[in-house]
Amino acid sequence: MAYSQIDPDRRELIQIGYNQPLQGRGPLAAYAFFYDNIPNWQSTNLTLRLAIAPVYVDSELGISGALGEGTDLGIGVSGGAFADNYSEIRHGVLQQGESFTGDSAEVNFSVYHKFNPLPGGSTPTSLAEVPLQALFRIAPHYSIYGRDNNTASNFQLPDDRLALHLRTGLRWGGREPLLMPDRAVELSMWYDGQFRSDTQPYGFNSDRDVRAQTHLFWGRALVAFGETNSPHHFETSLTTGISLHADRLSAYRVGGYLPLVSEFPLEVPGYYFQEFSAERFALLSGVYTWGFGPDRRWELVVNGAVAGLGYLPQLHETDNWITGLGGGIGYHSPSGLWHLLAIYSYGFEAQRSGGQGASSVAILLQIDLERSSGMQRAWKSLNANLLKGIDGVLHR
């Protein structure tokens, strides 16, 4: 969850998502994390961001104006179990003997520059005031690979390795890290270079290459809109990407419906999570909700996506175009504390043992602790003790 700018808003969110296929067996598709973003932490120019999952932590200390007016510095640390897992899927079949676990550790240093800062950090009131930001990040990333219970005994794992990630990009606007933000607009383009210290082949008789370097280029156009007094809300995005020298461990992974699993989730509902490995892609997706009932707390949800894929040569599939469509129901609690969605999806081109086409269900839950005074007090007490410990470690 390495966001590409310092989050300016106070947030205390619990995010939970689970995606279950109804035909076949795919990789585990779930996330659960507590997102805590604290502007003015210890000082008015510091922002502490924590994303805490059961076995993984991602954190960043943002220092506003550290490199001059409008130019911020971010120092991040992340790591834990299973972040670099790899699941091999070919023609709709999870190859458990060729899949393995991956733990990771990373430090990163980021420079954020805002080209059009507003006075006092005020909120934009027109498109002309929407922020344009640039990012440059350098991130040494260490991966440790291991067998799970089903990895074949004669399958050689990739060597543990250090990779240097260089990321840069431009973003106009942005999307808040919420299940369904009220409004958002974004145009962005990105580059991520991955340079690896070890390129020994792996697999059965060393039949899989590891590229010394991979270059990823992608962009996104996104808009979300919902009026306070209107029952209608929609979000749509177009994301495209290409790559140079991609391999299994660095290719774009497309499929499934978990909207907060990463900053740029490549979702096509009805398919396994990350079912497809692509060198290049174009993905158009959308979500529409219609609120009804008392205070429009209930909502009907329709989501869908279509993607054109250029596969890795080793993982080529029958169809270069895949489509998915879903629908379900959602509910907001009266206080706004929690938001729950249950969605059924169908992937039209999914290859399964019973033929073409497959179904899945997704459960998504967002809990906003800022909306509940009782829970807020409990979490603030817990956070205070946690932050005291972090503060003590930093001082030592």
Contact residues for 135 (Cβ-Cβ < 8 A; gap 6+): 4, 5, 110, 111, 112, 167, 168, 169, 170, 171
Whether the pTM exceeds 0.85: the reply is yes
**Residues 128/172, Cβ–Cβ less than 8 Å:** no
Residue with the bigger pLDDT between 387 and 61: it is: 61
- DSSP letters for 21-73: ESSS-----EEEEEEEEEETSSSTTEEEEEEEETTEEEEEEEETTTTSTTEEE
Rounded CA gap, 17 and 28, in Å?
11
Nearest CA to 20 out of 10, 30, 11 is that of: 30
pLDDT at 372 over 80: no
What tens digit of pLDDT does each residue of 210-268 get? 999 999 999 999 999 987 778 999 999 999 999 999 999 999 999 999 999 999 999 99
Rounded CA gap, 291 and 186, in Å?
25
pLDDT at 2 over 60: no
Rounded CA gap, 312 and 281, in Å?
11
Q: What percentage of the chain carries pLDDT values higher than 90?
A: 83
What tens digit of pLDDT does each residue of 148-194 get? 999 999 999 999 999 999 999 999 999 999 999 989 999 999 999 99
Q: Greatest CA separation found in the chain?
A: 63
Residue type, 106: E
- DSSP letters for 356-380: EEEEEEEEEEEEEGGG-HHHHHHHH
pLDDT at 353 over 70: yes
pLDDT score at 120: 59
Residue 176: phi and psi, rounded to 5, are -65, 155
Contact residues for 296 (Cβ-Cβ < 8 A; gap 6+): 231, 332
The average pLDDT across 80-96 equals 96
Confidence of residue 357 (pLDDT cuts 50, 70, 90): very high
pLDDT at 383 over 60: no
Rounded CA gap, 200 and 164, in Å?
17
* Cβ burial, residue 279 (10 Å; 0-12/13-18/19+): buried
pLDDT score at 288: 97
Sketch out the chain's domains with CATH numbers: 11-395 (2.40.160.50)
pLDDT score at 41: 95
Residue type, 224: A
Confidence of residue 1 (pLDDT cuts 50, 70, 90): very low
Torsion on CA atoms 151, 156, 160, 161, rounded to nearest 10? -120
pLDDT at 384 over 80: no
